[in-house]
């Protein structure tokens, strides 16, 4: 039998940020049956917002890393609220928003940072339907914002 996610990724515990406090009057998750809808998280590393605009001072690679950081935050929230990542049956959807200049064509390449991490962690269960769009602004001038729906 294959080791569970929590067992395989015990060394990742140091990578998981603390479960962030809420910045707005929202619930940590909505739930309908086996689906949990997790609110968006912005790109934060070491307690600091990863800010900026793709195509104007921020590169695709920096955006990719910021999207991966958003995904790590989402995993930390999942683990905190579910008790174990092994309870995740499937990543259903990921909605990624990139703070970008008008006409920026590479939002999908940026959001691949999150998608690649979910597949790395969950295997085929990490494959998901996805939206990756450029927007003119995000909260706190964050480079990336990520929202997801998971099946438990």
pLDDT tier for residue 23 given thresholds of 50, 70 and 90 = very low
> What Å distances lie between residue 71 and 1, 57, 77, 114, 145, CA to CA?
27, 22, 10, 5, 10
Residue 47 has pLDDT above 70, yes or no: yes
Looking at residue 24, what is its pLDDT?
A: 45
Nearest-angstrom CA–CA distance, 67 and 61: 10
Looking at residue 11, what is its pLDDT?
A: 59
Average pLDDT over the chain reads 87
Torsion of CA 67, 39, 119, 57, to 10 degrees: -10
Lowest-confidence region among 82-86, 94-98, 140-144: 82-86
């Amino acid at each position: 039998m294959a080791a569970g996610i929590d067992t395989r990724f015990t060394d990742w515990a140091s990578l998981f940020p603390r479960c962030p406090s809420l910045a707005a009057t929202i619930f940590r998750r909505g739930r309908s049956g086996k689906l949990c809808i997790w609110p968006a998280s912005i790109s934060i590393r070491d307690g600091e917002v990863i800010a900026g605009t793709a195509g104007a001072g921020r590169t695709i690679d920096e955006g990719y890393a910021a999207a991966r950081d958003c995904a790590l935050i989402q995993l930390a929230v999942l683990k905190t609220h579910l008790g174990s990542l092994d309870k995740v049956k499937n990543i259903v959807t990921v909605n990624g928003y990139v703070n970008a200049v008008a006409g920026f064509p590479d939002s999908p390449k940026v959001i691949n940072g999150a998608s690649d991490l979910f597949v790395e962690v969950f295997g085929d269960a990490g494959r998901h339907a996805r939206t990756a769009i450029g927007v003119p602004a995000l909260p706190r001038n964050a480079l990336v914002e990520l929202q997801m729906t998971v099946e438990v």
